[in-house]
Amino acid sequence: MRPFEYVRAADAGQAVTLVSADPDTSYLAGGTTQLDLMKDGVLGPARLVDITRLPLGGITHTGTAVRVGATTTMEELAADPVVAERLPFVREALLLGASTQLRNLATIGGNLLQRARCRYFRDPTVEACNKRNPGSGCAAMTGFARMHAILGTSEHCIALHASDVAIPLVALDTVVHVQGMDGPRGIPLTEFHLPPGDTPHVENVLRHGELITAIEVPLLPEGARSHYLKVRDRVSYEFALTSAGTALVVEEGTIRYARVALGGVGTVPWRAWAAEDVLLGAPANRDTFHAAADAALEGARTLPGTAFKVDLARRTLVRTLETTAGVEA
Ligand code: SF4
């Protein structure tokens, strides 16, 4: 592990100033991904600025939204009674997203910034990884690709965004609040992560030094039901092969409100706008749900190792919609 300097920030302004001034300086929060990557030699910052003692945690309720401080842990958010009652699929995704130990350390801000799980990205002995080593190629294209994306990919990278909780959050039009040298700004989560395109090493719209201070999560409308389903190789401590987060309001058999996002398939937390278009105004039945799933997976690009995900993702979404709507399989 490369030696690094450790600094504990006195306030958010100092933290932003320190990190913004030096491309080799990074923030440190829960560290549950970052420290692993440093030990593996994937990341090698010269200095870490610890933000865990800053007043960036806590959950406040506005009546229409939940504002979650960036250093709030996954466990704290999962335990919030308003989240349990008004955003049940957020709670489900949090509880399925990590072990209890990790949930007590990992922060919400860090969760959104977690790095790719691609084995080639995490192995610095592999030369070809455009995300870690821009312009070097992509070992996953010709190597072992199973836990990889099928939506939003490019010829330069097919790495998956592995967050669970980002799936319901992106479905809800969550806003990410950040503070930088130019002041604060709010970024819709739907625009926060960037698909790889020609620059897989650029994963989000943050400028270097911008600090996530909070996220603002709109509550579901009254009468909405929601569900998050995660399909994986084993029941715990495993990333999603496919997942889906859905929220519906159904009135007299007709869908009046629909939010759909997919996990385990996208290079970014995948908002399935096309599926929502199919659902809105349609009868809440299996035919509609299958049509929505077909729309959600349209344009999927696969390799032999990821081809199974298209049908699995369709089935995952149909099942999630059935459960959400209370329609028997
Ligand atoms: Fe690197 Fe992306 Fe290719 Fe994985 S999929 S080897 S992260 S470029």
pLDDT (tens digit, 9 = 90+) per residue, 162-177? 999 999 999 999 999 9
Q: What is the mean pLDDT of the chain?
A: 96
Residues with Cβ within 8 Å of 300's Cβ and at least 6 positions away in sequence, in order, are 150, 151, 265, 309, 310, 313
Question: Which residue did the predictor score with more confidence, 329 or 194?
Answer: 194
Residue 212 is which amino acid?
A: I
Domain 225-325: give its CATH code: 3.30.390.50
Phi-psi region at 132: left, alpha or beta (left = phi > 0; alpha = psi -120 to 50): alpha
Q: Alpha-carbon distance 94 to 74, whole Å?
A: 6
- Check whether 159 has a pLDDT greater than 70: yes
The pLDDT value recorded for residue 194 is 98
pLDDT at res. 1? 85
Q: What is the position in ligand 1's atom list of the atom closest to the CA of 148?
A: 5
Q: What span, in angstroms and rounded, lies between the C-alpha atoms of 319 and 324?
A: 9
pLDDT above 80 (res 328)? no
> What atom in ligand 1 is closest to the CA of residue 118?
4
Supply the angle between the helices 286-297 and 308-325 in degrees, to the nearest 10. 140
Q: How close is the Cα of 215 to the center of ligand 1, in Å?
A: 28
- The predicted-structure confidence for 84-106, as pLDDT tens digits, reads as follows 999 999 999 999 999 999 999 99
Atom of ligand 1 nearest to the CA of 132: 1
Distance in Å, CA 102 to ligand 1 centroid: 25
Give the integer Cα–Cα distance in Å for 256 and 224.
10
| Tokens describing residue 208 | 């270097």
Q: How far apart (Å, rounded) are the C-alpha atoms in residues 319 and 280?
A: 18
Pairing of strands 65-69, 270-271: unpaired
Domain positions in the chain are 225-325
Per-residue confidence (pLDDT) for residue 329, from 0 to 100: 61
124 phi and psi, to 5 degrees?
A: -65, -10
Q: How far is the CA of 10 from the centre of ligand 1 (A)?
A: 37
pLDDT of res. 229: 98
204 and 269 in contact (C-beta within 8 Å)?
no
- How many angstroms is it from 118 CA to the middle of ligand 1? 6
- Going from the Cα of 43 to the center of ligand 1, the distance in angstroms, rounded, reads 15
Q: With contact defined as beta carbons under 8 Å apart, do 163 and 192 qualify?
A: no
Q: Helix or strand or coil: residue 310?
A: helix
User: CA-to-CA distance for 101 and 117, rounded, in angstroms?
Assistant: 19
Distance from Cα 141 to the centre of ligand 1, integer Å: 8
What is the amino acid identity at position 91?
A: R
Cα–Cα distance measured from residue 106 to residue 72, given in angstroms and rounded to the nearest whole number = 8
Q: Measuring from atom 2 of ligand 1, which residue has the nearest CA?
A: 157
CA angle, residues 64, 70, 73, in degrees to nearest 5? 95
User: What local confidence, expressed as pLDDT, does residue 192 receive?
Assistant: 98
Atom of ligand 1 nearest to the CA of 116: 7
Report the separation in Å between the CA atom of 159 and the middle of ligand 1, taken as the mean of its atom positions: 5
| pLDDT of 246 strictly over 80 | yes
pLDDT digits (tens, 9 = 90+) for 104-113: 999 999 999 9
Residue 325 half-sphere exposure, CB side, CA atoms within 13 Å?
A: 29
Q: Name every protein residue with a CB atom under 6 angstroms from any ligand 1 atom.
A: 116, 118, 120-121, 129-131, 138-140, 157-159, 200
Would you state the pLDDT for residue 298?
97
Q: Put residue 217 in one of left, alpha, beta given phi > 0 → left and psi -120 to 50 → alpha.
A: beta
**The ligand 1 atom nearest the CA atom of 137:** 8
pLDDT at 235: 86
SS3 281: coil
- Tell me phi and psi for residue 91, to 5 degrees: -60, -45
Contact 286, 322 (CB under 8 A): yes
Q: What is the pLDDT of residue 237?
A: 83
Pull the structure tokens for residue 287. Answer: 């035919």
Residue 236: which pLDDT band, with cuts at 50, 70 and 90? confident
| Residue 151: strand pairing partners | 266
Find the 40 Cα to ligand 1 centroid distance in Å: 16
- Residue owning tokens 């996990």: 263
Other Cβ atoms closer than 10 A to 135: 8
**In testing the pocket of ligand 1, which one of 119, 127, 138 has its CB within 8 Å of the most ligand atoms?**
138
The closest-lying atom of ligand 1 relative to the alpha carbon of residue 196 is 2
